Amino acid sequence: MADFRPNRDRTDLPADAERCVTICARFHRGIAENCFARGLTHVGRRHEQIADRLVALRKPTSITILTAPTAETKKRRAA
């Protein structure tokens, strides 16, 4: 059986990270579409927001950062 481990050394890690982000963003947009189709607009918007933040950051990021409340949400809670 062939040993493919040496090929791993030649991998472009930033490109791998960007590819992972693209896949994750596509996944979250798909979930958002399904939520909107079922009438779950709040959940759908959250998944769209996560996808947008992933694309903006262009690197794998902790889910706590991706789902952190926005400044507007914090203002509404304080009011």
Under 8 Å between Cβ of 47 and 35: yes
pTM: 0.65
- Residue 27 pLDDT level (bands cut at 50, 70, 90): very high
Residues of the chain with pLDDT > 70: what percent? 65
Q: Categorise residue 58: left if φ over 0, alpha if ψ from -120 to 50, beta otherwise.
A: left
- Residue 6 pLDDT level (bands cut at 50, 70, 90): low
Q: Tokens standing for 13? A: 């890690």
Is residue 1 predicted with pLDDT exceeding 50?
no
In the chain, where the domains are located: 13-78
